[in-house]
Structure 1
Amino acid sequence: MRGPVMLGQDAAVADAPSNVRLADAGGDVIVVEPTGGAARVAFVLYPGGLVRPQAYEWIGHALAAHGVRTLIPEMPLDLAVLSADRAGEVAEALAPGLPVVVGGHSLGGAMAASYAADHDVSGLVLPAAYPSDSTDLSGEAFPVVSLMAQHDGVADAAKVTGGLDRLPGATRLITVDGAVHSFLGRYGPQDGDGVPTVERAEAEAAITGSLVEFFEALA
């Protein structure tokens, strides 16, 4: 049985100028909002398969200082594949008028890429994820960043790198040294994953640093 969507669960980020609330946009959505000024871009982040949305709240807090409003929707049965187009409804309700970047972890990333193939987006973020074989974004012009955990035992490295052929040519692939698949979210160890060679805090610092650089570069 799935537990409720929780706020503030293992989501502490030091000195994060942000606040968090739970909103309704066709279902629960965690909203992490900058407090130091108006948001300049929205980031709709799809959770990984069978992962609760609160596992990614920390990313929203880390990005808030950079003008990013992060929206993390709860998915039916915690599977983004059952609601791949959810980003449109979420953005319309909770980020009207803002440019929208979509992204997702693992299965959530594949579904975010599918959404980006058929909708107007300002960017795509793929943490430990790659587009499905039927999703071709190679002709798109929006920026994409792909984050690959060095010791990921779930998202196969060959599939992540192979997926670059279906992404825009300027896509940036970043390897998070020492990290594993589950370091992209805060939900604990995952069956089949690799063995990390860095502390989670070090990996998270690298992840957020790469995401901050990506969002800061957006026009």
Structure 2
Amino acid sequence: MFKRLLKVLAVGILVLLAVLIAFFVIWTQFDYKPSQEVENLGVSKQAIPKGGYLLFQPSDNSDIKGGYIIYQGAKVDAMAYGYYAQEVAKQGYLVGVVDAPFNVSFFSSNKVKEIMKEYPTIDNWFIGGHSLGGVVASSYAYNHQSRIQGLILLASYPMNKNDFSNTNYPILSLTGERDGLSTPNKISETKHLLSRNAKIVELKGANHAQFGLYGEQKGDNEATISPQEQQTQTVQHTVQWLNEQIK
């Protein structure tokens, strides 16, 4: 009787494991690919594929103000943030977009350390991320505040364990008025986790998905501004804030 019970239990575990593997394989196939707009804007020509990230460089490499590393949102192809990265790079920053396995930033949470080692002459480093990528970026920034000069959140917020509230750590939080995932209510409810030196900017008419260029996302609200307009505003606020930190 005991042996039979063990056999049934073993079979049950194998079946559960098979189901979990099948679910994971299917889940990994559903990614948000870059929209046609990314190709139309010539982003792929500017991106330099590296080991686990996409690199975007200023036109004049001798005058790099700082480095900015971006973590992708969950299941979003890294190239979807290529236009944003490209436009920030044009303003004098070396920008890397982490290209994590299965497009899940948690699998490359320490990639920033590797990237920074490749460019030892850059003194000013910043980190950021969209949605889940912002959670990963927050965690790294929280644990490396002496090395990372600031954090940029794109429709995101830190986990409770990464509470910046008692610090003056520089944080820029860009949110969308029409965001259906990192909703205005969620942003408000997690505001207490941000530092005393945090700047929160709500983009009017902006939604969640248009912080990247990958089309519509399930659960999101329809934006009342175009993807191009939201990207332009995101770049402008990012560059202005980065410049203020370096002065």
Superposed pair shares fold, TM > 0.5: yes
1:64 equivalent to 2:89? Answer yes
- 2:126 aligns with 101
Q: What's the offset of the Cα at 1:2? A: 7.7
Taking structure 2 as the reference length, the TM-score comes to: 0.78
Deviation at 1:9, TM superposition (A): 7.4
| 2:190 counterpart SS class | helix
C-alpha distance in 1, partners of 2:106/2:50? 21
1:22 Cα deviation after fit: 1.1
AA in 2 matched with 1:41: G
- Conserved in 2, the CA contact under 8 Å of 1:44 and 1:91? no
1:145 has 2:169 as partner = no
Which residues of structure 2 form unaligned runs of 5+? 1-28
RMSD: 2.4
Report the TM-score, using the length of structure 1 for normalisation.
Answer: 0.88
Q: 1:100 is aligned with what amino acid?
A: W
Q: How far is the alpha carbon of 1:20 from its aligned partner?
A: 2.9
More strand by share: 1
Q: Please list, as runs of the form range in 1=range in 2, the aligned pairs for 1:187-206 lying within 5 A after superposition.
A: 187-206=214-233
Q: Tell me what 2:204 maps to.
A: 177
SS of residue matched to 2:86: helix
Contact 1:73 1:90 in 2 (8 A): no
One-letter code of the match for 2:38?
A: D
Asked if 1:89 is matched to 2:120, the reply is no
* 1:148-187 superposed Cα distances (whole Å, 9 cap, x missing partner): 1110001122221232211211211001110110010011
Q: Which has the higher helix share?
A: 2
Does the 8 A contact of 1:50 with 1:77 survive in 2? yes
- Whether the 8 Å contact between 1:177 and 1:203 is mirrored in structure 2 is no
Sequence identity percentage: 24
How many pairs are equivalent?
211
Match of 1:80 in 2: 105
Return the offset for 1:127.
Answer: 0.4
Alignment partner of 1:39 is 2:64: yes
